Amino acid sequence: MTIKEIAEKTGLSTATVSRALDPRYKSMLKESTRKKVLAVAEKYSYRPVMIGKSFVTGKTYKIGLILDHMTEDLSSPTFSRFMEAVCAELQKNNYTLVLLLAKEAKKNNGVNVRELLESKVADGYILGKSIVLGSVKDALDKTPVVLISQREDGISEPMPYVQISRPLCSAYQAMWRLIKPELRRSVAVVAPEDRYYHPRKSRAALIAEAAPKNARIKNFFVNKPVGFLVARANAAMAAEEYFDELRKFKVIWASSDLLALGVMDVFSRHGLVPGKDYHLLGLDNLEPSLRGVQPVLTTCDLRWDETGRIAVKTLLDLISGKTIPEKELTVKPKLIRRTSL
């Protein structure tokens, strides 16, 4: 089944059929016309041939996702949610995702990132703000780009791109408000040592920065790597080491759900129940991704899935020539209160 054949069956022009099959032109056609075309396309299992379409339009119908730590990123459950949302949104718009590696971008001042942005292997690109280095900046206004940012990444100067920020500081302030005032004077923070954390400000520093005046915090650092594959086990080892002191605190706040789960593993072995014998907080909302697990952690969902959807929608708008009025789109984290607090 081709566009020409659909046009013959519907009595419409090939141009109208082509627009009806492209979600970007939805507002340009009557809904009855779109439904008529889509019904025929569905009946005959029409699938667009993207190679032919690329020759006609000069577009690749691909979006490049540039990563500098691909192994680490792809092992992350939160990043997997981002990837799933990106792929789903792209496929709805007849686009596909291309993974691009810019290894050790910071060592070469982003030269490899710049080369990818100028390669025209895709119609637009998604990348992390932390790899926008000196040699990259003047390439950003030559191709559609959406940057993913956390506000603590330390790069604040204006850039010619649209960025999506996830403000962690406000999320931590909201989490502090969940803790009863009488409990705020006894908070243990379990977090990785700074040498295992890449952004300018660690999550432990952000938790302290967001704390109310009456809060009393003591940090317990996990002195081993906390990548997604080992974070829970290494947090458990640290919690066992610090157990006699940790158990004295009313609230234990881990800088990620995996670290919180490692703490909970150890406390459970000692017969202590979160929400009853102590209070426990995490960050990321990972438990729903674990099969067969009944979520108990009070946490904060950074909404990577929503970030992925907005990134794609924004990028496709840029590719189609639309003006994006906001240079910074904010995805607000969502607090999730469960039995651990």
pLDDT tens string 180-213: 999 999 999 999 876 545 555 678 888 999 999 9
Q: Decide if 55 is inside a domain.
A: no
As a whole number of Å, the end-to-end CA separation of the chain is: 57
Lowest mean pLDDT among 113-117, 153-157, 195-199, 287-291: 153-157
* Same structural domain, 216 and 319: no
Query: What single DSSP character describes residue 122?
Result: S
Which domain, by its residues, includes 113?
Answer: 62-168+304-333
Flag whether 157 is in a domain: yes
CATH number at residue 209: 3.40.50.2300
| 52 in any annotated domain | no
Same domain, 262 and 317: no
The DSSP secondary-structure symbol of 25 reads G
One domain, residues 153 and 175? no
Please check whether residues 233 and 159 belong to one and the same domain: no
- Specify whether 176 is located in the same domain as 296: yes
pLDDT tens profile 69-95:
888 888 888 899 999 999 999 999 989
My answer on whether 221 and 267 are in the same domain is yes
Rounded to the nearest integer, the mean pLDDT of the chain is 86
Q: Is 154 exposed, middle or buried (0-12, 13-18, 19+ CB in 10 A)?
A: exposed
Q: 174 with 295, same domain?
A: yes
For residue 265, the SS3 value is helix
* Rounded mean pLDDT, 329-336: 89
Q: Taking 90 as the threshold, does the pLDDT of residue 108 lie above it?
A: no
Half-sphere exposure of residue 258, counting CA atoms within 13 Å on the CB side?
18
With respect to residue 200, please indicate whether it lies within any of the assigned structural domains.
yes
Helices (H), ranges, 93-167: 111-117
How many other C-beta atoms can be found within 10 angstroms of the C-beta atom of residue 302?
23
Question: Given pLDDT bands bounded at 50, 70 and 90, which one contains residue 57?
Answer: low
State mean pLDDT over 30-46.
Answer: 85
pTM of structure = 0.78
User: Do 76 and 196 share a structural domain?
Assistant: no
Is residue 199 a contact partner of residue 153, using CB atoms and an 8 Å limit? yes
Percent of the chain with pLDDT over 70: 90
- What was the pLDDT predicted at 196? 45
Residues 236 and 296 both lie in one domain:
yes
- Max mean pLDDT among 18-32, 102-116, 202-216, 249-263 falls in 249-263
Residues 175 and 83 in one domain: no
Q: Does the pLDDT of residue 47 top 70, yes or no?
A: no
Q: Is residue 340 assigned to a domain? A: no
Residue 341 lies in a domain: no
Counting the structural domains of the chain, the total is 3
Helix (H) or strand (E) holding 172: helix 168-178
Q: Is residue 115 part of a domain?
A: yes
Residue 131 and residue 194 in one domain: no
221 is written with which tokens? 């650092």
Residue 153 lies in a domain: yes
- Look up residue 258 and give its two tokens: 């995996």
82 and 204 together in one domain: no
